[in-house]
Chain A
Amino acid sequence: MRLVICAKEVLDPDAVNNYALAGRLTIGDDGTITQSAIPRLMNAYDEQAIEAALRIRDAGVECTITVVSVAADPSAILKHAAALGADEIVHIKPGADGADCAGVASLLAAYAGGTGADLVLCGRQASDDDQGVVPALLGEALGAPIITIARDVSLSGRTVRVTRVTPDGDEVVEADLPAVVTISNELGAPRYPTAARSMQARRMAPTLLTPSDLGLAEGELAPRVVLERMFAPEVHGNCQFINGAGPAESARTLVALLREERLLV
């Protein structure tokens, strides 16, 4: 059984959030955040997708776990993937123009399809652009069923069973392999790399692939969705603070105000 997990490097969203809340986020003309102090790490949902794969292996399914990333230099997150327990790490380098979500999906589909992936696991979305379209585009390119927002994934023979977190509660679905599944945060925290694994990971080198290795011409990957600029939206606060003599008085004042506005009965 061949499990392929797609991973992306992102800026630490908590650090971005802290800068944004402090109003100190700086954004360059090319639309990227310029603060060099913000750490780069693996998209948390993708880390959980690796965790989902490791749980499948823990459940006794004989499988190889490959983590693949499309980027100029994803070596840090690929090392992390190896330390978490990946058997193989793969670096796909896009062309000079980079790749949009569709281009990334084409490259991943060419890789997953060409290497006979049985199950492709992706994070539900990347915490930088929040687009969440690559898994669906990848599934369409493979002609495979796509199951989104999983909290649990298990394999039985050639069938994948997934518990999805839907607005109406959990839903359990099945599909035949090959399939694409996206993992949500409800899966739970990923494990930490062990010391032994981290040592081994240092010796593991990623397999490097180019678009032409995957049978794709650069023209096919020309980005059609291009980030032109990015900005921090302004929020104008106008909060009326209630300063009662103590919690009881503040609470009574607030409730009285809300009753006046007929927001509470």
Chain B
Amino acid sequence: MSSVVAVTWGLASVVEAEELLTLARRCGDVTWLHLGELPDAASEMASRFGVSAVNHVPGPAISGADTLVAALAQYCRTAQPRLVLLSQTFESRLIAPRLAGRLGSPIVMNALAIDLSGAETRVTASSYGGDTNSVYRMTGPAPHLVAVMPNALQPEPAATPTSPEVEPFDIGLNSAVERIRVVTPARSEGQRLEDAQVIVAGGRGLGNASNFHLIEELAEAVGGMPAASRPLVDDGWTDASRQVGLTGRITRPALYMALGVSGASQHMAGCSAAKTIVAVNRDPDAAIFRYAKYGIVGDCLEIIPELIRAVREG
């Protein structure tokens, strides 16, 4: 069995860890490496997902990007895994390729599936914003690094649970010098789109910026969060924190209402994991209807006010 290390830190999302551990188990014998404070549910999750060993590098010194890269490089040099898997997040999008550069290892991002055979690694990854999938062959010295797209697969517990020990792992590193100084930290604005159960998203079909309030009103009526496709954010109709898609938020709500959204792959990368998508679009051939369970063909400016009324009538 190939040795596979699934790396996590921070862990904003339990589902993300479950997806990562599922894919890791399908690749080989899994060591779960966690940096920083270990979540309470970690032991139980490790067992349920068939992890062989849990290596824990205690925090809180492990936080900045320079320290994370140094710690992971140190770990990889010691443990010498065949494959290192990370969930693709805003942070790991920087950490993973830096680690590859530090180790001289090959790396593939946006992974959807992995196939290990001999010394080669084959990775299917999203490309052209999801319009295409690319299959890459990775060769060269281990470890091979792969960052896995959120929602690439459904988490699946192991057929036989394991009982891994949580072992503290001393990487012999206090902290690296952080070269980037934070002048003004980001201020989280309450609930994240990533955690929303209901999302109401607007697209170009809204016509102009002054109509975006319809999305906000419908979102309020259904108890969901408003969101937008990238063109709306680029044109300043709403804030960047509302952008769903490949270069925005990757969401997984129970209900995603897409209003005047065409359904370009780049946008769908951020919402195709929704349990139910409903769409309103003037064009019956719009791509969004290929993803939607329910659709209404029509002008969203006429239909959104009626949706608000219907919801409020309750």
Residues of B within 8 A of A (CB): 65-66, 90, 93-94, 96-98, 100-102, 106-110, 122, 125-140, 179-189, 192, 194, 198, 222-223, 230, 233-234, 240-241, 246-247, 249, 254-255, 264-266, 276, 278-279, 284, 287, 289-299, 302-303, 306-307, 309-311, 314
List the A residue with the shortest CB-CB distance to B98. Answer: A136
Q: Is the CB of B309 within 8 A of A248?
A: yes
Q: Is the CB of A184 within 8 A of B294?
A: no
Q: List 22 A-B residue pairs with CB atoms under 8 Å apart, sorted by A's residue number.
A: A16-B132, A102-B101, A128-B128, A131-B125, A133-B100, A136-B94, A136-B98, A138-B101, A161-B183, A164-B186, A168-B189, A224-B140, A225-B137, A228-B136, A228-B137, A229-B134, A239-B279, A240-B294, A250-B296, A250-B306, A251-B307, A264-B311
A-B contact count (CB 8 A): 249
**Quick one: given A20-B132, A251-B310, are A146 and B98 in contact (CB under 8 Å)?**
yes
How far is it, in angstroms, between the C-alpha of A168 and the C-alpha of B239 when the chains are bound? Answer: 12
B40 to chain A, nearest CB (A): 23
Q: Which 8 A-B pairs have the closest CB atoms?
A: A140-B101, A237-B290, A251-B306, A136-B97, A224-B140, A133-B97, A20-B131, A168-B186
List the B residue with the shortest CB-CB distance to A174. Answer: B181
Q: Is the CB of B306 within 8 A of A252?
A: yes
List the B residue with the shortest CB-CB distance to A27. Answer: B132
**Quick one: given A25-B132, A168-B186, A252-B306, are A240 and B101 in contact (CB under 8 Å)?**
no
Report A-chain residues with C-beta under 8 Å of the C-beta of B139: 224, 226
**Quick one: given A169-B189, A247-B302, are A225 and B136 in contact (CB under 8 Å)?**
yes
Q: Is the CB of B241 within 8 A of A184?
A: no
Q: Is the CB of A184 within 8 A of B247?
A: yes
A73 lies within 8 A of chain B by Cβ:
no
Report B-chain residues with C-beta under 8 Å of the C-beta of A128: 127-128
Report A-chain residues with C-beta under 8 Å of the C-beta of B298: 247, 250
Report A-chain residues with C-beta under 8 Å of the C-beta of B247: 124-125, 184-185
Q: Is the CB of A242 within 8 A of B136?
A: no
**Quick one: given A17-B264, A105-B101, are A130 and B186 in contact (CB under 8 Å)?**
no
List the A residue with the shortest CB-CB distance to B300. Answer: A247
A167 to chain B, nearest CB (A): 5
Report B-chain residues with C-beta under 8 Å of the C-beta of A257: 294
Q: Is the CB of A264 within 8 A of B222?
A: yes
How far is it, in angstroms, between the C-alpha of A255 and the C-alpha of B278 when the chains are bound? Answer: 10
Q: Is the CB of B128 within 8 A of A16?
A: yes
Report A-chain residues with C-beta under 8 Å of the C-beta of B186: 164, 166-171
Q: Is the CB of B183 within 8 A of A225?
A: no
Q: Is the CB of A130 within 8 A of B240?
A: no
How far is it, in angstroms, between the C-alpha of A229 and the C-alpha of B133 when the chains are bound? Answer: 9
Q: Is the CB of B183 within 8 A of A174?
A: yes
Report B-chain residues with C-beta under 8 Å of the C-beta of A130: 109-110, 125-129, 246
How far is it, in angstroms, between the C-alpha of A176 and the C-alpha of B93 when the chains are bound? Answer: 22
B188 to chain A, nearest CB (A): 4
**Quick one: given A175-B180, A175-B181, A264-B222, are A227 and B276 in contact (CB under 8 Å)?**
no
Residue of A33, A175, A242 near B295 (CB, 8 A) is A242
Q: Is the CB of A225 within 8 A of B138?
A: yes
Q: Is the CB of A167 within 8 A of B194?
A: yes
How far is it, in angstroms, between the C-alpha of A218 and the C-alpha of B246 when the chains are bound? Answer: 34
User: What mask results when residues 136 to 158 of chain A are scored 1 for a CB within 8 Å of chain B, else 0?
Assistant: 11111100011111010000000
List residues of A (219-265) whose CB comes within 8 Å of B's CBs: 224-233, 235-244, 247-248, 250-252, 254-258, 261, 263-265
Report A-chain residues with C-beta under 8 Å of the C-beta of B306: 247-248, 250-252
A15 to chain B, nearest CB (A): 10
Report B-chain residues with C-beta under 8 Å of the C-beta of A175: 179-181
Q: Is the CB of B310 within 8 A of A255?
A: yes
B122 to chain A, nearest CB (A): 7
Q: Is the CB of A127 within 8 A of B93?
A: no
- Which of B106, B137, B291, B310 counts the most A-chain CB atoms under 10 A from its CB? B310
How far is it, in angstroms, between the C-alpha of A172 and the C-alpha of B186 when the chains are bound? Answer: 8
**Quick one: given A133-B109, A225-B136, A251-B310, are A20 and B127 in contact (CB under 8 Å)?**
no
Given contacts A175-B179, A239-B279, A247-B298, 17 further A-B contacts (CB under 8 A): A13-B266, A17-B128, A25-B132, A27-B132, A125-B247, A140-B101, A146-B98, A185-B234, A186-B234, A225-B107, A230-B133, A230-B134, A230-B135, A239-B293, A251-B296, A255-B311, A265-B314
**Quick one: given A130-B127, A148-B94, A235-B290, are A265 and B276 in contact (CB under 8 Å)?**
no
How far is it, in angstroms, between the C-alpha of A135 and the C-alpha of B279 when the chains are bound? Answer: 37
List the A residue with the shortest CB-CB distance to B269. Answer: A130
How far is it, in angstroms, between the C-alpha of A239 and the C-alpha of B185 when the chains are bound? Answer: 43
